[in-house]
């Protein structure tokens, strides 16, 4: 049995490994004693528990499993996560206790650093752990190094999160709002437009989307609106969503998401729309912003789990349902733009989060989608 000092040192080494090497972050779990919880939503084991309390029999171990199921259920609800595996390191577990894996809790009996090296779970999922637990420093110098490394890692993570979520001036959003506003004004003064409609000839002359029109209309139609009410609704949505997307992705990426989503939505419209139909509006591009926001929230659900569950998903679902109910809405543009927004976001990536491999795959899929839809719309 390890002494208290040996156990404390081993805990410090585990914390150093999981925080500095595997990007886990501490989790505050109310009502828990003699345990440390760490989370990383990108890991196979999204939760790592370090249990210091003594577990002396099978009944106590089963109660611990029950507690894990209950608490992980709460975390899944909070972070909008459907699957959650927990790796539990038991530092004071009676030898008579029978341990086995279940669908949630994967226990590891820790007697010493040497015992870790023989564990199959550790060898499979954390093969570098044994080497990373070795330090050249000893005594007070070792504690100081571990503390300094953890502090440095936490400060770096905090700076990245603050940078990612810090407010940014929505320059692109204001520019886009300016363009659609100027276009709407010109349609009133040059063409024929009223509160609830715009003359078809005016829409066509300004670049409305038609079945057999030029490819440039894929872009121009994004900035047109069929009447003042249509304009106000889209301008309001763009002002809200654009600011959020620009805050998380930055100026250039927001512009790319808006244009790519609008084009993809229009391409799907050209493929499926009737020959005598003319379409216009930023709705497809705006649904692309929703898709980008959804992608961001899913990848940052530790921080945006509640917003994802209570705000983002309900807004998307409600808007899709409105598109299905109201016959005059171009549902093809909405669906195409939403899909386009998600796909282009995988290519553009999330700062400090998305890997180069993910970006390359996102780029390939984005190009394939654009080429395939263009071929179906204009060359079939």
Per DSSP bridges, beta strands 105-109 and 86-90 are parallel
* Separation CA 272–CA 327 (nearest Å): 15
Contacts 24+ apart (CB under 8 A), 86-89: 86/45, 86/46, 86/47, 86/48, 86/49, 87/45, 87/47, 87/48, 87/49, 87/121, 87/125, 88/48, 88/49, 88/51, 88/64, 89/14, 89/48, 89/49, 89/50, 89/51
> Is 334 an active-site residue?
yes
Q: Residue for token digits 């093809």?
A: 332
> Cα–Cα distance between 139 and 160 in angstroms, integer?
32
* Residue 176 neighbours by CB under 8 Å, 6+ apart: 238, 242, 255, 258, 282
Nearest to 81 by CA among 30, 27, 32: 27
Please tell me the chain's helix, strand, coil percentages from 3-state DSSP, rounded to the nearest 5: 65, 10, 30
- The residue among 305, 304, 334 whose CA lies nearest residue 318 is 334
Which of the following is catalytic: 334, 345, 355, 366?
334
**Catalytically annotated residue among 43, 261, 279, 283:** 283
For the beta sheet containing 86-90, the strands, ordered from the edge strand earlier in sequence to the opposite edge, are 25-27, 35-39, 47-51, 86-90, 105-109
Q: Are 279 and 273 in contact (CB under 8 A)?
A: yes
- Which residues are catalytic, by number? 283, 334
């Amino acid at each position: 049995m390890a002494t208290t000092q040996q156990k404390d040192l081993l805990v410090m080494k585990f914390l150093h490994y999981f925080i500095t090497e595997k990007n886990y972050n501490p989790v505050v779990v109310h009502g828990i004693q003699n345990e440390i919880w760490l989370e990383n939503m990108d890991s196979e084991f999204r939760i790592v528990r370090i249990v210091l309390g003594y577990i002396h029999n099978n009944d106590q171990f089963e109660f611990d499993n029950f507690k894990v199921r209950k608490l992980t259920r709460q975390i899944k609800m909070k972070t909008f996560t459907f699957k959650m595996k927990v790796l539990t390191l038991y530092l004071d577990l009676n030898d008579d206790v029978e341990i086995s894996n279940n669908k949630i809790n994967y226990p590891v009996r820790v007697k010493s650093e040497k015992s870790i090296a023989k564990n199959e779970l550790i060898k499979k999922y954390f093969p570098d752990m044994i080497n990373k637990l070795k330090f050249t420093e000893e005594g007070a110098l070792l504690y100081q190094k571990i503390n300094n490394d953890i502090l440095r890692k936490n400060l770096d993570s905090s700076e990245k999160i603050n940078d990612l979520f810090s407010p940014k001036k929505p320059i692109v959003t204001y520019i886009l709002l300016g363009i659609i506003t100027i276009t709407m004004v010109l349609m009133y003064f040059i063409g024929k437009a009223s509160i609830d409609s715009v003359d078809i000839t005016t829409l066509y002359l300004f670049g409305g989307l038609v079945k057999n029109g030029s490819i440039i209309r894929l872009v121009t139609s994004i900035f047109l609106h069929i009447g003042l009410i249509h304009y106000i609704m889209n301008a309001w949505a763009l002002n809200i969503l654009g600011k959020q997307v620009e805050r998380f992705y930055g100026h250039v990426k927001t512009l790319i998401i808006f244009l790519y989503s609008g084009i993809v939505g229009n391409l799907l419209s050209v493929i499926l729309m009737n020959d005598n139909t003319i379409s216009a509006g930023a709705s497809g591009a705006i649904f692309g912003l929703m898709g980008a926001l959804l992608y961001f929230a899913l990848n940052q659900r530790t921080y945006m789990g509640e917003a994802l569950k209570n705000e983002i998903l309900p807004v998307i679902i409600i808007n899709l349902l409105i598109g299905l109910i109201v016959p005059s809405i171009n549902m093809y543009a909405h669906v195409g733009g939403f899909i386009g927004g998600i796909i282009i976001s995988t290519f553009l990536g999330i700062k400090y989060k998305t890997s180069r491999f993910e970006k390359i795959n996102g780029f390939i899929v984005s190009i394939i989608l654009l080429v395939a839809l263009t071929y179906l719309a204009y060359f079939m």
